[in-house]
Amino acid sequence: MSFDRIDRQILSLLQADGRMTNVDLADQVGLTAPPCLRRVRALEEAGAIRGYHADLDAGRLGFPITVFAMVSLRSQAEHDLAAFEHHIADIPEIRECHMLNGEIDFILKIVAADLKSFQEILTTHLTPAPNVASVKTSLTIRTAKALSGIPVVVD
């Protein structure tokens, strides 16, 4: 699907404020409400908009600890990679999992209530997982930038 200037404006505005009303969105992109809503629905159906969510403050909600875990597997066969992904899928504290190119196979973003909770995740779920060769962790000290989404260029 190709995106024209109005589509990119819609995407940019909704990425910044997913709660924006269709009337406000239409006004900002220079359309009336019905064609604007049709464009939003088309962007959703095309998969350009995958969903809407609230950006929660992890610390205020009891998860002040963020750790990145670099996981290396013994085997990189597709079924072993998929098995690891399946293993971590149901661990709610693991918020992101990215497969990497290089000596580290996966990087995980993990949130925890405290260091003891993180240690339990590490020792009961990650290090004993099948095919895991090593897990290296780094505790986040401070987050200088955390933008969701992508840079949408509007001509």
Go through the domains of the chain in sequence order and give each one's CATH number: 5-46 (1.10.10.10), 58-139 (3.30.70.920)
Catalogue the long-range contacts made by 8-14 (C-beta closer than 8 Å, 24 or more residues apart): 8/152, 8/153, 8/154, 8/155, 9/154, 10/36, 10/39, 10/40, 10/43, 11/43, 11/48, 11/49, 11/152, 12/152, 12/154, 14/40, 14/49, 14/52
- Which residue matches tokens 């629905």? 41
What is the pTM for the complete model shown? 0.89
Q: Is the pLDDT of residue 91 over 90?
A: yes
pLDDT band at 64 (very low <50, low <70, confident <90, very high): very high
Q: Tens digits of per-residue pLDDT, 106-131?
A: 999 999 999 999 999 999 999 999 99
Q: Which two tokens stand for residue 74?
A: 């013994």
pLDDT value at position 155? 79
